[in-house]
Amino acid sequence: MRYAPVGVVSAGEARAMDSDVIVVGAGLAGLAAASELVRLGKTVTVLDQEGEQSLGGQAFWSFGGLFLVDSPEQRRMGIKDSHELAWQDWVGTAGFDRPEDEWPRKWAEAYVDFASGEKRAWLHSLGVRFFPVVGWAERGGYTAQGHGNSVPRFHITWGTGPGVVEPFARRVRQAEIDGKVQFKFRHRVDDLMLTDGVVTGVSGTLLSPDESARGVATTRESLGEFELSAEAVVVTSGGIGGNFDLVRQNWPERLGMPPKRLISGVPAHVDGRMLGIAEAAGANLVNRDRMWHYTEGIENWDPIWPHHGIRILPGPSSLWLDATGKRLPAPLFPGFDTLGTLEHIMTTGHEYTWFVLTQKILEKEFALSGSEQNPDLTGKDIKLLLKRVLPGAPGPVEAFKKHGADFAVAATLPELVAKMNGITGEGLLDYDTVRAAVEARDAEMDNKFTKDLQVTALRGARNYRGDKLIRVASPHRLLDPKAGPLIGVRLNLLTRKTLGGLQTDLDGRVLRADGSPLPGLYAAGEAAGFGGGGMHGYRSLEGTFLGGCLFSGRQAARGLAG
């Protein structure tokens, strides 16, 4: 993708600064950076190509999960965690194996220190609170030194994504009132301005006002151009998940050909433009082939943005089948290994898979990612939250079951398979293949000495109080009529996060290809691979994206101010 040439001015042409620092992107990383910069005595201009209604960016739409280590919530749930165990899990998950992983690894070490140290106390001091039951994401299923969380670490914020955004948005808004911050919405940056090799500002397009609701694709009609100058620029513009062209362009060879069909877990403005603009100015962009896309995506029956998809956050009981009805190999069970599952799917010749489950599993194990899909947690509504322990699925889940294009419901297995084939129109599911997988799995329910690792895993999961209480259904046969009806769900590939990005040192300074800092340019959040150009390596332990935005935004501010 080509971008406009970098603006270059001489020292004699340099103009007076509009503020000390320009932050490009009003998402969570940008708000974290801006609030810290103000605390450290800097004046800040925050730019965003979207309108004021989109303050908080992608984080607003998130489930609000945060990775914490040895927290009070964990200890109350009987979970023994430690910095050493978390680091073992991180290294086994990341798989750092490239020369350019030097800085990402340093960022990962610093982040695990943060997550097992001051992170919770810092957030708690800002008013952030957590749901008491800690979730167990990315369970791995390999060896102790392999991928996955050895213990539950996924802390759901009370208020979900908006609850994470709110304290930082509030602080920056107060700084705006105090004259220390100015917001410039509908300002799309097209160039970084250089003065004698130093980044001294930005130029771009002033976009026409658009009052569309948050997340809705907005007009790109131009009203003119702008230039702004500062002593430094911090890029916090996010990743590429809303730009399918860039996703396919950067698709890793190890995963085969790029998917022809994708759905989007992020709004259209998550377009990756600033990555190319910074690279054109001399920034080093690394690990661009490392991505985090989900395999359990469903089409939103009530979409907000183009190709809007929602991720199912599954418990471990659903039977996972490929497009032809064959069971996915161990340990590719629901909630165990996102990237490993994606890698397997791309070898099957088809880009979708299926869950087969019961109403009993749906009610206990189906959660939907996203603040708008969890009105009880997002709205901090205790009465509504208590309904989760009562019979019946949460309202948003039932709405997808009723209206979703990917859902089939039937009383019998032959009827279910016929409806599942009707969803795709391809007729790839062979009834005898599906029946054999279901019946073999069901037979293991009567065998306490099972050889089925998924059955072992779901029984083991119920040893954890949190899973037994609200996350994992009691083991039962799929063909048990008392647990029905039967449900089939087509699962699509859902774009979400960019794991690579602008290479930065631990002060958030953007580096050139030769390893030297590009003067005046900093980066944080997803644009920086959440730190260093990819602190997650190849895989994520989950709950580390929002926290990565907060930590890297704060680090960049401190590095700049220092």
Q: In 255-394, which ranges are continuous DSSP H helix?
A: 273-280, 338-345, 359-365, 375-378, 382-386
Q: For the chain, what percent of residues have pLDDT higher than 90?
A: 93
Largest CA distance in the chain: 82
- What's the pLDDT tens digit per position in 326-359? 999 999 999 999 999 999 999 999 999 999 999 9
On the question of pLDDT at 11 being above 90, the answer is: no
DSSP string spanning 133-160? SPB------S-TTSSS-SS--EEEBTTH
What is the C-alpha separation between 314 and 357, in angstroms, rounded? 11
Q: What are phi and psi of 81, to 5 degrees?
A: -130, 165
3-state helix, strand, coil in the chain (%, to 5): 35, 20, 40
Q: What is the dihedral of CA 536, 3, 233, 117, to 10 degrees?
A: -10
Global pTM reads 0.95
Q: What pLDDT shows up at residue 391?
A: 83
Q: Look over the chain and give the mean of its residue pLDDT values, rounded to a whole number.
A: 95
Phi/psi for 166 (5° steps) reads: -55, -50
Residues 308 and 276 sit within 8 Å (Cβ to Cβ): no
Amino acid at 402: K
What's the whole-number mean pLDDT along residues 384-404?
A: 90
SS3 465: helix
Rg (CA), the chain: 24
Confidence grade of residue 15 (pLDDT, cut at 50, 70, 90): low
Task: Give the pLDDT score at 460.
Answer: 94
Would you state the structure tokens that stand for residue 294, as one six-digit string?
A: 């989900």
d(CA 202, CA 232): 10
pLDDT band at 12 (very low <50, low <70, confident <90, very high): very low
Please write the tens of the pLDDT for every residue from 34-59: 999 999 999 999 999 999 999 999 99
Residues 6+ apart with CB under 8 A from 180: 38, 42, 43, 44
d(CA 189, CA 163): 28
C-alpha to C-alpha distance for 191 and 33, rounded to whole angstroms: 21
